[in-house]
Structure 1
Amino acid sequence: MMARLTLSIQHNLEPFSPARWAPGGDLQTLAGYLLPGSKGLSHTHLHKIPVSFGDTLVACENLSQEEKAAGVVLLLHGLGGQADSPYMLRVAKKFLDKNWITFRLNHRGAGQGRGLARQLYHAGRSEDLAPMLRLIAENYPDKPVIAIGFSLSGNMLLKLLGEQPEAIPQNLCGALAVSAPIKLAAGAAAISRKRNWLYDRRFISLLKNTLREREIDFPDFPRFELPRNLNLYAFDQIVTAPLGGFTSAEDYYQKCSAHQFLGNIRVPVVLLAAENDPFIPREIFADLPDSPWLQLHLTPSGGHLGFISAKRTAFGDHRWMDYALWHYANALVRQYAQAFKQMA
């Protein structure tokens, strides 16, 4: 039996106040991306996870230094990322330092999983997460588990929780979605605006590189004619939709947006986002279902996965997002434990 969210989950969480030198959404986003973080993690164990179409995912596990871990956290990277993306390593390192077991999943073809998947990662691949959660439950059946989805993976995670509740292991005691585009069409439209050309170019560069890798690794992989002025919507129309079995980009966005599934979620979920995220419009959070399982934490500033704070956090740095994720993870685990204690 899952524990519904209580308002106390946000108690003692230091509120976010942006660094004075990064007051806006763009500066927060760029600072979050450019400021240095963890370089790598030692003693990483790799897990291979079979998924649909004969593809294989690779997950990276790191054990806490102490024998009795506080819990297990699963980190899911965003579009164009991988398990070794700086923010993935940085957040994992902080959870490890606080005595958590960490898993970082490479989505299809990413990181250590290159050459093991023909299909592309996209926002609707929620079915890929179910075997990952099962693997964790089989290896750590008595440990509380928290799943954290960054950006596009936040949408994927929420979609799974609402669309396939029967696939959720009993020990998943909560989930966090950070800067998640839960209405994909709105997110694609926002990132395609002229003011966001830098972000659009960055994502297109990463996606083109993904296609080049597939063409090298799989000689019979389809070749696509891509226009010079390609944007994210056009990529989804030309590549993502046909490869994923959708009739169009609009069909992909409609079927894979997590917003429509939120009312079915029966696991405690926190959505963390910033009002000034350059390409996740705050309006997409305006009509969330009235559910005791959902809590929205919308900060006035923070950008996209930025959240660089004016004051140092409990970790001694200015990465408020990392601190908030750790705070919420611990609060969800405590709430989960209290619920089972009351049932005993």
Structure 2
Amino acid sequence: MSSSVGSPTCDGLERDLDTGRASLRDMLTARDYRPPRSLYSPHLQSVLGSSALRRRRGRSAMAASGAVTTAHIIDAGDGVRLQGLHSAMPGVTPRALALLLHGWEGSAESSYMQLTAARLLARGFEVFRLNFRDHGDTHHLNEGLFHSNRIDEVVHAAAEIAHRYATRPMVVAGYSLGGNFALRIALRAQAAGIPLVHVAAVCPVLDPARTMDNMERGLPLYMWYFERKWRESLARKRKLFPQHHDFDDQVLGLRMRPLTQWMVERHTQFGSLDGYFQGYSIAGDRLASLSVPASILMSEDDPVIPVDEFRQLALPAHAHLDIAPHGGHCGFLENWRGDGFAERWVAERLDAAVDLSVATSPALA
């Protein structure tokens, strides 16, 4: 069974828009995701979702799109520099700007980022794929370490990107930790002057404390993967800034929880692991004040993030929650070729949202 929570804003999309595009009810929902039984395993979904096959699919999709992609350094405030990739179709006036955010230890070049970008480009969007601090090939840009409470710099970067490109409607989408950041950007969008018309999040981290607990109790593969990636990132940071980061290999050998505790105590102002986790939690009623319409896609069998957190969310009327019975963590593969339901879902939701914004605000046309 799939779970779907609608809203008056969603219902409003059911009106026939002047553009003649589909309404939100006509959009893909969790009920439309029907993988073959051979892909029911959440672990298979999660692993294949970030496999070499999918990376090749992502690169091919972007190459086939015909878009021109350029790298940019973005001023993120207080001397912070973030890097990202802007893609647009040559000779075409884009109808909207989409900002895409990757998951922890992913990058702007992750398969799901490229596949989502390709689908949005085909729908007339221009796309900016932002790298978080210390993700992708950007460790050299800032001395301080990345952590998940660095929301101020991401909001500042989003506002800067909007200032550079958003002469038309702007939307944001993110996966996993990127979904968490996307929803937090939406919470701050109005105050930051970011002209968002919709936000989409796939398997977003809600309560990081519970996510940590869940990973420690679950299949060791996920903890091993993230520990390995984070250690490599920290080692790279130490090599680039040895005077500022003089930790030894014993620190790099710590498991996830004590390593996070070490990072919190030395590189944040939170003082405790619980305070740090609470700092970027969006669980419970923390999304109730969202003023930007939102769409959230989650899988019932996500092996990383507990699904029951999503059923306990206090969401505003214009938020839409879709829960599919399968999909793993940000997998949602539709076949063994690597086609992804989540990328289609994101593109259709954002496309419909832009149509509504243009139909109801002629100045955005």
Amino acid at match of 1:25: P
Q: Which residue matches 1:202?
A: 225
Q: Which residue matches 1:184?
A: 208
Deviation at 1:57, TM superposition (A): 0.4
Q: Which residue matches 1:338?
A: 359
- Retained in 1: the 8 A contact 2:76–2:154? no
Determine helix, strand or coil for the equivalent of 1:101: strand
Any residues of structure 2 matched to 1:214-233 within 5 Å, and which? 214-224=237-247, 226=250, 230-233=254-257
Determine helix, strand or coil for the equivalent of 2:50: helix
Determine helix, strand or coil for the equivalent of 1:223: coil
Cα pair distance change 1:238/1:4, threshold 3 Å: farther
Alignment of 1:111 with 2:131, yes or no, is no
The superposition leaves residues 268-292 of structure 1 with CA deviations (integer Å, 9 ceiling, x where unpaired) of 1111110100011001112211411
Deviation at 1:295, TM superposition (A): 1.1
Greater alpha carbon shift after TM alignment, 85-94 vs 172-181? 85-94
The superposition leaves residues 177-228 of structure 1 with CA deviations (integer Å, 9 ceiling, x where unpaired) of 11111111111111111x3211111101111111111111112123345468
Determine helix, strand or coil for the equivalent of 1:115: helix
- Retained in 2: the 8 A contact 1:237–1:248? yes
Q: Which residue matches 2:340?
A: 319
Q: Which residue matches 2:278?
A: 254
Any residues of structure 2 matched to 1:52-131 within 5 Å, and which? 52=77, 54-131=79-156
Determine helix, strand or coil for the equivalent of 1:68: coil
Greater alpha carbon shift after TM alignment, 83-92 vs 55-64? 83-92
1:12 & 1:276 partners in 2: Cα distance?
23
Count of residues in correspondence between the two structures = 336
Amino acid at match of 2:58: S
Q: Which of 325, 333, 343 matches 1:308?
A: 333
TM-score by length of 2: 0.84
TM-score by length of 1: 0.89
Alignment of 1:24 with 2:41, yes or no, is yes
The superposition leaves residues 13-35 of structure 1 with CA deviations (integer Å, 9 ceiling, x where unpaired) of 26111222111211111121223
Fraction of identical pairs, as percent:
26
Cα pair distance change 1:129/1:66, threshold 3 Å: same
- Retained in 1: the 8 A contact 2:234–2:252? no
In angstroms, what is the RMSD of aligned CA positions? 2.6
Determine helix, strand or coil for the equivalent of 1:308: coil
2:148 & 2:36 partners in 1: Cα distance?
31
Alignment of 1:44 with 2:64, yes or no, is no
Cα pair distance change 1:188/1:241, threshold 3 Å: farther
Alignment of 1:33 with 2:53, yes or no, is no
4+ residue runs of structure 1 moved beyond 6 angstroms? none
Q: Which residue matches 1:5?
A: 9
Unpaired stretches in structure 1, ≥5 consecutive residues: none
- Retained in 2: the 8 A contact 1:133–1:168? no
Deviation at 1:76, TM superposition (A): 0.6
Cα pair distance change 1:79/1:342, threshold 3 Å: closer
Greater alpha carbon shift after TM alignment, 120-129 vs 244-253? 120-129
